[in-house]
Structure 1
Amino acid sequence: MLILTAALYAGAAGAHGKVSLEEDSCVRRIGENMVHLSAYQPQFEPSAQYCTEIPKSGDTYLVVDLIDPALREMPIGMRVVRGTSETDDETVSYLRPSYHPDGVIKGETSLDQGLYTVIITAEGLPPLRYQYPLRVQMINYANIFRTAVGPLIALLLLILLGYKLMKSKRMQRWRASRRP
């Protein structure tokens, strides 16, 4: 039972970067074209890499990898807006469209607590548009629930097993034999 609990908990705690591109939540795909977003906050955690859940507000480095080589041959820009609507919300960072032959777009912005959207636009034929929602310094209750479900189920099963054991006839006979 303990092994099952550990396996469930370890699966829920898997870090970003340990999955294939097809399963990576930081990859966006339009047809054959793929981009990958990574966010860094070295002032807080030098080796940590984030995607859509940024743990703290402050200076954040955004890195977009242009996975598809065709994207390196067209102008691509990046914009970060506060909120979820490109037209109604404030732009906090903008990198004008340009060519990125090395396949990497780098930007830095300061993010306060709240919701943001990273918008990546490729000026190809047809034009491509990728979006990443960012949650900065916000509690994600869905992740907490998913992480807690495995250990909670294991605990409930252990309680049920203990209850059944305590109610078994063999245990009652053992208790009766120990009474003076």
Structure 2
Amino acid sequence: MNNSLQSLTKYPSLSSVLAIFTILLVSIFSVNSANAHRGAKGEGDACRIYVGTEVVHFSAYTPTFTKGESYCEAIPNIGLTHIVIDYEGKKLRGSTVEFEITKEPEGTRIFYQKPEKIKTGSMDAKVDFSQFGAGEYLTHVTIVNQGEKLDSHLPFTVGIEIDEDNIPYKLIIPIILVIISLIAMNIVVNKKEKEKQASRADDTH
């Protein structure tokens, strides 16, 4: 009897398996969601660019494809894109700021906003990425103050599927296969245990 109990404890019950599966799914999608919005080290929002102590907010819109939906580090469609840079706070409005977008790794400039003071705190640029193709790009933000330059960068992609987004779906299939195997083993073990119990019952009569 002890051996039978030990064999049963080697395999989780169906309810335990389903509970573990649910926890794994929640964990995977939580991590993926966090990665989707992750910025540079120390930043919680991929849309925010820290330039010294100041912050600007980067947004990209592709109205032809996705209407009012905004993107930061991954723009899915290649075409006319509205790039919006917003200042967080009013301090930058009195500073001279320079914006540039380059295609990487070549470093080819595809957009340039000369250094100027943007009193409104917001800049809107239209870039047709179909002229430059899918790939990796880099936004450069430079503050010019009393001859001193302070710059920062925000990498983003256009027309490229991010592998991180597919990780949960790649993991789900093997997890399901493992669960099916555990359930099958659980059924076999339970069946054998019932057969043993029935055999013992017959022996006692």
Corresponding letter in the other structure for 2:172: P
What CA distance in whole angstroms lies between the structure 2 residues aligned with 1:149 and 1:32?
40
Which digits, 9 at most, give the CA deviation of each residue in 1:97-146, with x for residues without a partner? 2212222121111112112211111112542212122211112213322x
Which digits, 9 at most, give the CA deviation of each residue in 1:81-109, with x for residues without a partner? 12235xxx322111112212222121111
What CA distance in whole angstroms lies between the structure 1 residues aligned with 2:51 and 2:142?
12
Q: Do the aligned partners of 1:76 and 1:122 also contact (CA within 8 Å) in 2?
A: yes
Closer/same/farther in 2, CA of residues 166 and 90 from structure 1, 3 Å limit: same
Query: Could you state the TM-score of these two structures normalised by the residue count of structure 1?
Result: 0.77
Shift of 1:77: 2.0
User: Which structure: larger Rg?
Assistant: 2
Matched positions, count: 169
Supply the RMSD in Å over aligned alpha carbons.
Answer: 2.9
Corresponding letter in the other structure for 2:113: L
What CA distance in whole angstroms lies between the structure 1 residues aligned with 2:105 and 2:49?
17
4+ aligned runs moved over 4 Å, structure 1: 13-16, 173-177
Query: Could you state the TM-score of these two structures normalised by the residue count of structure 2?
Result: 0.69
Which digits, 9 at most, give the CA deviation of each residue in 1:142-162, with x for residues without a partner? 3322x3366357525523531
Shift of 1:57: 0.8
The alignment-based identity, stated in percent, is 21
Listed as ranges, the matches of 1:78-117 within 5 Å are: 78-84=99-105, 89-111=107-129, 112-117=133-138
Q: Do the aligned partners of 2:51 and 2:141 also contact (CA within 8 Å) in 1?
A: no
What CA distance in whole angstroms lies between the structure 2 residues aligned with 1:25 and 1:153?
31
Shift of 1:47: 2.2
Corresponding letter in the other structure for 1:142: E
What CA distance in whole angstroms lies between the structure 2 residues aligned with 1:9 and 1:157?
16
Q: 5+ residue gaps in structure 1?
A: none
Match of 1:127 among 149, 152, 156: 149
Judging by fraction of residues, say which structure has more helix.
2
